Amino acid sequence: MKMMENVVWHKQKVSKKDKENLLKQNPFVLWFTGLSGSGKSTIAMELEKHLWEKGKYAILLDGDNVRHGLCSDLGFSVADRQENLRRIRETAKLFYDNAAITIVSFISPFKQDRDLARDLIGKDFIEIYISCNIQTCEARDPKGLYKKARNGEIKDFTGIDQGYEEPKAPEISINSGSTPVEAAVGKIINYLETKKYI
């Protein structure tokens, strides 16, 4: 790419390790994936609060919130979803490189995009699959999106007219249809403590 020929990476004077020592934490990326209405954002927000109460600095990148700014120019076609997630994984990597615990909550329906995020972050990438059958998601329908998709008002809606590729081996899997939010957060915290992330 010609434009990149004139772009030079600047090595910073304050290292990632320096920032880890300042914040007294090990950074990692928690990547939530699941259908709309599965409970990703609800669990992610409670997790962020729990980590904050434990004195940990965490940043939450939520799908809807990010689309209000960074990705407001994108739609929901396959190409736009892939660009959306490219921007998010690069943003998550920037936060991770600056010692932040980064929580990412996106439908991220395609395995390829999640694999690219894992490859970019490396060993500190933790995939969390919030599983929930579509009937339960549709019954919850907190934003009224399933109804709009069924009525043809929304195109390329995951679970209705666009597929979702379930993770085959996520680090953490939570069935939100049968697991209360507090228990879901507890399961994630237990994993992080067991693996010595926190």
Q: Which residues are catalytic?
A: 108
Residue the block writes with tokens 């434990």: 54
Within a 10 A sphere around the Cβ of 82, how many other Cβ atoms?
16
Which pairs from 134-139 meet CB under 8 Å and 24+ separation?
134/35, 134/159, 136/37, 136/177, 137/35, 137/36, 137/37, 137/38, 138/37
Helices 181-194 and 40-53, axial angle in degrees (round to 10): 60
Alpha helix locations (H) across 54-198? 63-67, 78-97, 111-121, 134-140, 145-150, 181-194
Strand partners for 103: 30, 60
- Say what the alpha-carbon torsion angle 149, 151, 154, 155 is, to the nearest 10 degrees: 80
